[in-house]
Amino acid sequence: MDAARGVVENTPSPLRPRGGARTWPEERLNSDRPGASHAPPAYKEASAVPHVLVLNASYEPLGVVPLRRALVLVLENKALCLEESGAFLHSATRIIAAPSVVRLKRFVRVPYRGPVPLTRKALFARDGGRCMYCGGVATSVDHVIPRSRGGQHAWDNVVAACRHCNHVKADRQLRELGWRLRHQPAPPSGLAWRIIGTGHRDPRWLPYLQPYGAEDAMARIDGISA
């Protein structure tokens, strides 16, 4: 019997794959849809910790979910709370400590996830929210080699940029302007980037992400942001 079967069979679950699949579908993991028939009461979510890190039973990072979904896992006895946020959720009858990190009680098989997806949030995380031309606050995305000149929409050709630099650069190449990149763009790698790339950051997550490249990722981000 598949290791994931005990997690998804026989009981309604917010993480149950469609069609009886016994893998952990990443798009469902990061969805906002609770989908559980035994959802907790309508707790008021703590704004300080809107998302929670979910770990496999092996402590491998699986993804980030909204706080309510994490509560469903804990209250249905499918996950253990490893770290609390320090905030509390209130209903008419009880008070619950808001989790920051939860671990599934049963191991779930994860399909191959390939390279880290190139999204705006992930790009801004990689570049520390800074313009790669002037170091100012980034508010837009720019292709180093313009698309009109054959540049690809890929990690090594896309950077965060402020609107001013983006406007001045337009469809020109850096050598035409005499500009240089502050940091060479490169595709991020490692499971930690899949968490950091969501745009959610919580210092309580770092000990669980360190074995998966979190220190290198954070060093790059902090170095760029400085």
Give per-residue pLDDT as tens, 148-161.
Answer: 999 999 999 999 99
Query: Residue 105 pLDDT > 80, yes or no?
Result: yes
Nearest to 65 by CA among 120, 14, 23: 14
Query: In Å, what is the CA distance from 214 to each residue of 6, 33, 67, 167?
Result: 31, 28, 22, 33
Q: Which residue has the higher pLDDT, 1 or 132?
A: 132
Helix ranges (DSSP H) in the chain: 5-8, 26-29, 67-75, 120-126, 163-169, 174-177, 191-196, 206-209, 214-225
Q: Taking CA 175 as the corner, what is the angle to CA 170 and CA 179, rounded to the nearest 5 degrees? A: 75
Nearest to 62 by CA among 22, 111, 20: 111
- The CATH-assigned architecture of domain 120-177 is Orthogonal Bundle (1.10)
pLDDT digits (tens, 9 = 90+) for 20-56: 333 333 333 333 333 333 334 333 333 344 799 999 9
Non-local CB neighbours of 95 within 8 Å, separated by 6+ positions: 88, 89
β partners of residue 130 = 137
Residue 4: its pLDDT value, please? 35
Round to whole Å and give the CA distance between 37 and 16. Answer: 12
Confidence of residue 219 (pLDDT cuts 50, 70, 90): low
Cα 88 from chain centre: 23
- Token pair recorded at residue 51: 């998302």
Residue 46: its pLDDT value, please? 35
Cα 207 from chain centre: 16
Round to whole Å and give the CA distance between 18 and 22. Answer: 9
Three-class secondary structure of residue 152 per DSSP: coil
Confidence of residue 221 (pLDDT cuts 50, 70, 90): low
Confidence of residue 173 (pLDDT cuts 50, 70, 90): very high
- CATH 1.10.30.50 maps onto the chain at 120-177
- Note whether 66 and 102 are within 8 A (CB): no
